Amino acid sequence: MTLETNLDQVKDIAKKAAIWAYPIVENYRSIYKLTIDSNDQPGAYKGPMNQIHSLENVATPDDKVIITPNSDTPYSYLIMDLRTEPLVVTMPDITSFAGDNGEDRYYSLQLVDLYTFNFGYLGTRIDIDTQRDPINRGGKYIIAGPDWSEEESEKITSILKSETNPEGIIDEIIKSETNLVFSLFRTQLFNPDPVTGDIKLVNEIQKKYKVETLSEFIQRTTPESAPNILYPFIPHSGPENGEKLDPNFFQYVNFLLQFCPTHPTEVELREQFKTIGVGEDFPTFPPEGVSAEWVNALNEGSEAGMKKIVETAHNMNTSLGIFGTREAVMANVDGEEEGYGYLKRAMGAFMGIYGNSDAEALYPAYLKDSQGHPLDASNHNYELVLPVEMPVKAFWSVTMYHADTKFLVANEPLNRYLINSSMKLTTNEDQETITLYLQNESPGEEKESNWLPAPNGSMFVVMRLYLPQDEVVSGIWKPPVITGYPK
């Protein structure tokens, strides 16, 4: 491959490559912390790949593995290495784990490829969409990598059928574009109270999640293992709270592309990237023999790409269209510039990696108030007025974060990091709305049930709408604004 020599072209291609590859590197950062580096910061490492690792409680300010964590649903992590063979995931039957009022408990498994496309879902929403009766009765699913063929799928399906079970015992075979997969179980917690709450029921469900290799599942000989890989160290977070690219950004990209077969729609793009030394076949980066001026042009271009991600993300006020399948995220929308799908994917990774697809959950996001001013609780108190009946089929929440780090905000002794629909909230006199108080100091005892503590400085607020109604997904419903009042 001949390297590009025109420095302006080098700059343009580097900008495009940075936007395209940014989510891949950020995904690897999480995978590295969770399953590879046991010497990373305390609490980050959960255990090896191809095993389920459950958190017994919802996220707190001490959890700094993933930015903008939710504190509604205790997480269970499963990082998959599919190079050797597929995995079989069991979703348990949780029909007996409904809430006190008989409401169905939400649970899901989100499947995310290395590009950060959501290539599959299991759980409550899929059961509703496919009209399973009852919902939440679980199932068994094969998750296969890009090299798994249709012929192999048909062979396995036939093996797992019998006279007594002609449909087979596998509900679905789901293929990933990449051999590394980040997957995340979410299990709804109705009541977080340590005494009267239902966290023990959630933990029971978590213990029922199961993963095994396909050879274990069908009791056949294990295939020869894929070669061991020496995974390169990556820092806990990118420079300047993630607003700058890692100095070794493209080295990480070249390493990770071995897990990412070229998609048919990206053949030309991947060939173009090779002209600046970005590809799985390049042993070193920058490529050998390039000049200092060439490297400077590449750095200028990649920095411009990161700047574009940050600036666009800071003007984002909803996750609509940001997360989803490749087809959904990359769909052409009138008025969008060429390659905007890659920018949307990068914005999602920057603002809240592993966000759900629109049909699963939607995230109105707030960095500014109704007047367009940045949210800052050191000099303003804020109010967010919500309708009592929010447009969701499952539940909703509003979570507070530090604007710079995107981690939860410590507040003692209240230790309240969100407000959600399962809490006992005070309604307004009209009985149709609820006012949430987003501020650094208590709004007073009579309003404290609706108080979401804010940092003494810049803040970032995310609303979560789980299983949103059609008017939300279509964009007809507009999220309420946050109103600021000077202290």
The DSSP 8-state label assigned to residue 157 in this structure reads: H
Neighbouring CB atoms inside 10 A of 288's CB total: 10
d(CA 344, CA 322): 5
260 Cα distance to chain centroid: 19
pTM over 0.85: yes
Q: What is the pLDDT of residue 195?
A: 81
Can you list the residues of the chain whose pLDDT is less than 70? 40-42, 161-168, 332-336
Cis-peptide into 413, omega within 30 deg:
yes
The DSSP 8-state label assigned to residue 268 in this structure reads: H
| Nearest CA among 92, 130, 131 for reference residue 109 | 92
Q: What is the pLDDT of residue 335?
A: 59
Q: In sequence order, what DSSP letters do the residues of 399-466 get, joined into one string?
A: EEEETTT--BPP-TTT---EEETTS--PBPTTSSEEEEEEESS---GGGGGGEEE--SSBEEEEEEEE
For 324-343, the pLDDT digits (tens) are 999 999 986 655 677 789 99
Q: Which residue has 């087809």 as its token pair?
A: 327
Q: What is the pLDDT of residue 99?
A: 87
Q: What is the pLDDT of residue 331?
A: 86
For 432-441, the pLDDT digits (tens) are 999 999 999 9
Q: What is the pLDDT of residue 197?
A: 87
